[in-house]
Structure 1
Amino acid sequence: MNAIDRTPADLLSSALAADPARPLVTFYDDATGERVELSVATFANWVAKTANYLQGDLAAEPGDRLALLLPAHWQTAVWLLACSSVGVVADLDGDPAAADLVVAGPDRLDAARGCSGERVALALRPLGGRFPQPPEGFADYAVEVPSQGDRFAPYAPVNPDAVALVVGGEELTGTGIGARALADAAAAGMPKAPRVLSGLPYDTWEGLSYGLYAPLATGGSVVLCRHPDRLDAPAAAAREASEKITFRAPPVS
């Protein structure tokens, strides 16, 4: 983390400048067998496209609140960094009725209809696939985002000391996210530039820190696993070896 890095979006920009080709997020879904690996450059491109969509088509502004009804997933990580880029507050499992807009996975669409603003649905299918039939009342992320621009510039400066994230009812600023993630990494004894394995959900700060922010802040990467309970012990050990894991997140308590 450089001295000039203040927000998660700053951290991503620094990672892109330092080594765009290195892996940043590797995602497994052990219910479907999916594996996706995103380099810093590929991940940043998804973030830029999503931020352009958020700021342009969805007309989101700094300070707007986005209810994020998604599991631990590589596309959720993209949305978190896109929100940081625009200055939108990402409210994990937030109340859609109290949000300016909502982004939801296929199993959270009914709850998401409580939002009176823009609604975006993600199919969470392998390779970022679209819904076979777009859900009524929602824009399909996989349809809308690929055509967006590959570079992003905010219309208004993002205040790093403004609230950027709400998780478990706790509010964190953009500056606070990076600082707390670094503190977590130090307290946990993460090695330099760690390769972190996490099967934690994204509904707590711990899950977000181990599963995204701490690896990003320390120049590392994350192997993010959804439905890790579907994997038996030998397969889990083989994954850990093949992915060259140097740090494991603690199990869900």
Structure 2
Amino acid sequence: MNATDRTPADLLRSALDADPGRPLVTFYDDATGERVELSVATFANWVAKTANLLQDDLAAAPGDRAALLLPAHWQTAVWLVACSSVGVVADVGGDPATADLVVSGPETLEEARACSGERIALALRPLGGRFPQLPQGFADYAMEVPSQGDRFAPYSPVDPDRPALAVGGLELTGAGVVERAHADADARGLGPGSRLLSGLPYDGWEGLSYGLYAPLASGGSVVLCRHLDRLDEDGLAKRKESERVIATAS
């Protein structure tokens, strides 16, 4: 990664320049059997489309707060970097009533209705599928994002010294996220090409760091596992071997 990277969006751009074809996020849901692998290029495409949705269709601007009521999931990772791309504060698990917009999974829709701004719902179905029936008062992410542009340019430059992420009572600037991510990567011995398996939820810094930011900052990749507790020791050992994992956070 480049020394000039000061936001998560910068980290992704550097990863794209370095090796767009390598894996970045490999997602497992051990409740459904789902496995999805996203290369840097594919992940960046999802981020660009989501950032365009934020900036254009949802009229989000730097400094706005997006309450992300989402579990550890590859689409959540996309939203985290898309918010960084626009300059929107990703408020993970934040109060929808005080947010400018809310992004909700299927299990938190009632809570998300407290938001008076734009409401986006993610079905979190395999292959990014739509809701069978659109939740009232929400736009379906899976319906809205495909038509968005594949390239993104912010209308206003993103200030790395402004708030970018809030989680568990912690608020960080974009530069602060990058600094902490590098420190966590160093602590786990992560480097270019390394694979970290994380079964941590996205409800605190540690889960977000090892589930996205630290692998991204180090030039590595994450094997992000939801419902990992459903896997026995033998199954976990086989996954680590097949995915060439060098470090684990769970």
Q: Same fold (TM over 0.5)?
A: yes
1:193 offset after TM fit, Å? 3.5
Q: Distance in 2 between matches of 1:188 and 1:244?
A: 15
1:175 offset after TM fit, Å? 0.5
Distance 1:47 1:192, change over 3 A: closer
Structure 2 residue identity aligned to 1:93:
G
* Cα deviation digits, residues 53-76 of structure 1 (max 9, x gap): 000000000000000000000000
Mapped contact 1:193–1:215 kept (Cα < 8 A): no
Aligned twin of 1:79:
79
1:187 offset after TM fit, Å? 2.3
Alignment of 1:69-108 (within 5 A): 69-108=69-108
Mapped contact 1:23–1:38 kept (Cα < 8 A): yes
Partner SS for 1:234: helix
Alignment of 1:103-252 (within 5 A): 103-249=103-249, 251=250
Instruction: Work out the number of aligned pairs and report it.
Output: 250
Q: Distance in 1 between matches of 2:17 and 2:188?
A: 27
Q: Distance in 1 between matches of 2:244 and 2:188?
A: 18
Q: Distance in 1 between matches of 2:54 and 2:10?
A: 18
Q: Distance in 2 between matches of 1:192 and 1:24?
A: 11
Gaps of 5+ in 2: none
Mapped contact 1:101–1:118 kept (Cα < 8 A): yes
1:233 offset after TM fit, Å? 1.2
Gaps of 5+ in 1: none
Q: Distance in 2 between matches of 1:141 and 1:211?
A: 22
Partner SS for 1:24: strand
1:186 offset after TM fit, Å? 1.6
Q: Distance in 2 between matches of 1:34 and 1:146?
A: 21
Aligned twin of 1:3:
3
Give the structure-1-normalised TM-score: 0.97
1:203 offset after TM fit, Å? 0.4
Partner SS for 1:147: coil
Aligned twin of 2:64:
64
Q: Which consecutive segments of 4 or more residues in structure 1 shift more than 6 A?
A: none
Structure 2 residue identity aligned to 1:141:
Y
Aligned twin of 1:16:
16
1:188 offset after TM fit, Å? 3.0
RMSD (Å), alpha carbons: 0.8
Which stretch of the first structure deviates more once superposed, 37-46 or 180-189?
A: 180-189
Partner SS for 1:31: coil
